[in-house]
Chain A
Amino acid sequence: MKTWFADLWSGFYTVLVGMDITWRHLFTPKVVLQYPEQKWTLPPKSRMRLHLKYEDCIGCGQCARACPVNCISIKADKRAAGSAPIYAANGQAIKLDVKVFDIDMSLCCYCNLCTYPCPTDCIYMTPEYEFASTDIRDHLYRFAKPDAVFLTVNPKPPAPAPAPAAAAAAAAPKPTEGGAA
């Protein structure tokens, strides 16, 4: 008999406690984001769709080697002998003619490992995340542009004093960095 009353009271009381909780939640401001109209402000360095600044790519292929899922495919040939020198934005000479630079975003695992070895910082992740499509082939992004306009003047000319040494110094970090990667 005693437990009957105790159970009755605890049942009744806990229902009231639950109703109190739901009542309070009825009035708390809501946490919903009305997605297509409202969007999250993404944190800086958020890892979304990859982008390549084709004009800066020297075709070294370190990003493709770093990629754990092989979603980057690059084809690059040596530039024709005697063609005018072109440069990446950080002053590195572009010695290869990058014919194909494809990133298959349907394979990409957004690990960001490709952007670290890039010597010219031309591959990077953008905050763009709304690129769902009904065709998986739309996720293959082709970055090679046949009509790209390259820098023909070195934007960061090497120190003028010992010209060959500076060129060697500019070339030197590349193999070590590649070796580290």
Chain B
Amino acid sequence: METIIKNTITDKLIAGFTASKNTLFGDGILREQAMESFSKLGVPGRKSEEYKYVNMEQALKGDLAAASPKPISEGQLNSLKVIGNAIVLVIINGRFSAEHTKFNNNIKGLQVMDIAEASGNAVFQKHYAKYADINSDPFVALNTAMATGGVFMHVEKGTVIERPVHIIHISSSSESMIIHPRNLIVLEENAQATVIESFVTVDASAKVFSNALTELFIDASAILQHYKIQEENENGYLVNTTQALQKKQSVFSTNNFTLSGSLVRNNLNIVLDDEQIETHLNGLYLTKGNQSVDNHTLVDHRKPNCNSNELYKGIIEEKSTATFNGKIYVRKDAQKTNAFQSNKNILLSDDGTINTKPQLEIYADDVKCSHGTSTGKLDEDKIFYLRARGLSEASAKKLLMHAFASEVVEHIKIDELRDYVEAKITARFA
């Protein structure tokens, strides 16, 4: 029975590709290969080790139309802007919106364009689909086959982009739909940039399944600050793959905030492909209702003398489910690696579920690696202490949840963005 359902869903997606492939940008051969890989891998079922805690078959069942464009108003867009001086790039239903993107490429050393228009660009050709492996994951394969648009961003050697780049992914539909936004961000040697990716639903009155993929190439000594703010509504289903490759002495900090959405699966894969690389991964997920949030992270230490530091925290309410799976590979060559990982959860209800699995695979012998995980309720002694000073039990809990979250929030280096996330958390626990 399971096989039949699975085949049906996979077949449906293959049929979607066959119907639309002639309209898609770029390399047709790559797309065919990706689809072939997808048809082999198929939609992962509950027996799949990598996807056992998120019900992808459920999320993908039923009719899912191919993405169609949908206009949104300037007013709606303005309400999604968070940072005053940001370069705002808009993707609606997997397509780059030239209409809403006001940036006119007037910053030296920075090129930004619709990825669907980038096929002739040499930098694009050098990097596109080189890091996210179509044979490793069905959603990478599916996105590579089906991608309709997104952002291609290129920061030239030695260029420091002061203004944050805010990529807003909008899902908007009144009928069930599947979309495949695709981004490629390339930082050349010594370049610096800050990129915020936000994921929102606007006028989404039916299920929108977004299979979004961003590839990041961070060349030697480049510094990339990366944020993901995920706040789709209950019709939002999001599989969000971030595939990063770091070169020598580069610094990559990525901070993921999952604030809402029916289902969110993050695949964050970072390859440390040279020496003296620094990597920071922080995540916060606040789940409630029947929400399911699954963070899979992979830090792949391939060369010596690199540092990675990972902190993921979650507050789980009501019947929601949160999953954290953190893999760290330290390969044989990667001596003198420092790799740390911590996952902490607060479970506020008896009906909520947290699955946490740290996975360290270490093949080098001179390394410092550690991982820790904890799941608990709010500390009664702390609640009592605050109540003994006159705070109501509700205020005391609110303050403690805020404090728990702040350990992640304080990693946000942009004041406006930090205030925005703070306000969301405050509203959530009000």
Chain B binds chain A = no
Footprint of B on A, CB under 8 Å? none
